[in-house]
Amino acid sequence: MTPTISQRGQQMPASPIRKLVPFAEAAKKKGVKVYHLNIGQPDIETPKAVLDAVRHSDFKVLEYSHSAGNESYRRKLVTYYQRFGVEVTHQQIIVTTGGSEAILFGFLACLDAGDEVIIPEPFYANYNGFATEAGIIVKAVTSQINNGFALPDLSQFEAQITPRTKAIVICNPNNPTGYVYSQEELETLSQLCLKYGLFLFSDEAYREFSYNGAPFSALNLKGMENNVVVMDTISKRYSACGGRIGAFVTKNQALLDATMKLAQARLSPPSFAQIAGEAAVDLPSDYFNGIKAEYQHRRDILVKLLNEIPGVYCPNPGGAFYAIAKLPIDDADKFCQWLLESFSWENQTVMLAPATGFYATPGLGRQEVRLAYVLNAEDIEAAMQCLTQALYVYPGKTQI
């Protein structure tokens, strides 16, 4: 008798970003150049000092590290957070296998199956996957493109709260919108968390990519010491996505104790990339200036060119390296597939992520796409030319 897979296995959402990959591969096989604005894989080189730290390491046995990560790395991270005015001890940091594992740990340690988490949509699609794994329910509050995806009104959050609500997730700076929540917005959210006894999970993967001053870390919210968990990662910060090193940071001791047991079950985070992460904290202080200037330059070009296309609207994102644009199209999923399958201009096309995958509410985001400005300015310009041409001829174009 053939066994059947589980309901949750069947319910796991397919990645909305990766589902178009076969169409991109087919386009490339036809000789079409594809500009990838669909995925947050930075093209910027990993700092040489970071890779060299691994290449010059001289240990003889690739041992398990401490389940919470090497103490030397955690102590180094303490100094990293101090730069942002965040005071944590190395015992309040658990090194994780990417930011992904930090999110999963938070879901598992704070919520039981059937519990609910509230997330402003559009949101990072993999939150859905981890929620399915943990058996928890995502309730969305909708942010609006018209105000640049600012934090929805508190009443919208409150309307979603039930006795099963255990946490709110924010991503700041935001993937996929690029919005940077202000200190005031976070303080408003805090009141709600304190009133209802909710955790606040703050995914701060893009902390450094904020073009109007450093974003306010949720770890600095007063009175929220037992409510806040920061999910972090070296992936975007140092172009080190493949390292799979993140961090789970909280001052809640009961939560740390439970999360340590999750960490012990999987033994340890990857050793090589902990060496890389430790070296990264020692990069010269001007390292991010150059990177940030480059991303800001790309953003400026992208947003300007997008808004020059008739019928397109793209708010100016304050952080991360994503933008969401509204296009004059019938259906973003169809359009993004069509771009790869049926369109090319001067033998080039562009790959975008349909925004539908970032909304939990069915039907939302059908005219929106996410663009990751992870290509150099020249390529972004070429990609925007492709998009302009595509919108002239796309059969599903809507009235402007």
Among positions 64-93, residues that touch a copy of itself (CB under 8 A) are 64-65, 67
Give 186 or 327: the residue with its C-beta nearer to a copy of itself: 186
CB 180 within 8 A of CB 172: yes
Reference 23, options 14, 10, 32; nearest CA is 32
Residues 118-137 binding a copy of itself (CB under 8 A) are: 126, 129-130, 133, 135
Under rule CB under 8 A, residue 291 binds a copy of itself: no
- What is the footprint of a copy of itself within residues 139-168 (CB under 8 A)? 166-167
Among 143, 271, 344, 356, binds a copy of itself (CB under 8 A): 271
| By CB under 8 A, residue 196 contacts a copy of itself | yes
| 51 versus 301: smaller Cβ distance to a copy of itself | 51
Pick the binder of a copy of itself from 85, 242, 395, 396 (CB under 8 A): 242
CA distances 67 to 54, 61, 263, 348, Å, are 20, 17, 6, 47
Applying CB under 8 A, does 62 fall inside the site for a copy of itself?
Answer: yes
Give how many residues touch a copy of itself by CB under 8 A: 87
108 lines the binding site for a copy of itself (CB under 8 A): yes
Q: What does residue 276 show for φ and ψ, rounded to 5 degrees?
A: -60, -45
Provide the minimum distance between the beta carbon of 119 and a copy of itself in the complex, in angstroms, as a whole number: 15
Can residue 34 be called a binding residue for a copy of itself (CB under 8 A)?
A: no
Q: Which is nearer to a copy of itself, 217 or 268 (CB)?
A: 268
In the block, residue with structure tokens 């790959």:
351
93-130 burial code (b ≥16 CB/10 A, e <16): bbbbbbbbbbbbbbbbbbbeeebbbbbbbbbbbbbbbb
Residue 303: CB minimum distance to a copy of itself, A = 25
Shortest Å distance, C-beta 373 to a copy of itself:
16
Which of 202, 227, 367, 389 forms a contact with a copy of itself (CB under 8 A)? 227
Of the candidates 146, 147, 111, which has an alpha carbon nearest to the alpha carbon of residue 130? Answer: 111
Q: Is 244 in the site for a copy of itself (CB under 8 A)?
A: yes
Burial class for 84, CB neighbours closer than 10 Å (0-12, 13-18, 19+) = middle
Name the phi and psi angles at 380, rounded to 5. -65, -40
Note whether 220 binds a copy of itself by CB under 8 A: no
Min CB(276)–a copy of itself separation in Å: 7
Helical H runs in the chain? 7-11, 21-29, 48-55, 71-82, 98-110, 126-134, 154-160, 183-196, 253-265, 271-281, 287-308, 332-341, 377-393
Which pair of tokens denotes residue 316? 């100016």
Stretch that binds a copy of itself, among 82-90, 175-183, 252-260, 318-326 (CB under 8 A): 252-260
| Residues 166-195, interacting with a copy of itself (CB under 8 A) | 166-167, 193-195
Signed CA dihedral, 129, 133, 134, 139: sign only: positive
Residue 89 CB, shortest distance to a copy of itself, in Å, is 18
The end-to-end CA distance of the chain, in Å, is 57
Q: Is residue 340 within the footprint of a copy of itself (CB under 8 A)?
A: no
**Judged by CB under 8 A, which stretch of 106-114, 140-148, 181-189, 389-397 contacts a copy of itself?**
106-114
Determine which residue in the list 24, 180, 219, 262 makes contact with a copy of itself, applying CB under 8 A.
Answer: 262
Q: Write down the least CB distance from residue 193 to a copy of itself, Å.
A: 8
Which CB atom, from 259 or from 389, has the smaller least distance to a copy of itself? 259
Q: Is 28 in the site for a copy of itself (CB under 8 A)?
A: no
- Among 25, 43, 71, 153, indicate the residue that binds a copy of itself (CB under 8 A): 43
Other C-beta atoms closer than 10 Å to the C-beta of 63 total: 8
Instruction: Give the interface segment with a copy of itself, choosing from 7-15, 23-31, 306-314, 320-328 (CB under 8 A).
Output: 7-15
**328 vs 367: CA distance, rounded Å:** 7
Least distance (Å) from a copy of itself to the CB of residue 137? 13
For residues 314 and 355, give the distance between their C-alpha atoms in angstroms, rounded to a whole number: 13
CB proximity list for 367: less than 8 A, separation 6 or greater: 326, 327, 328, 329, 330, 332, 398
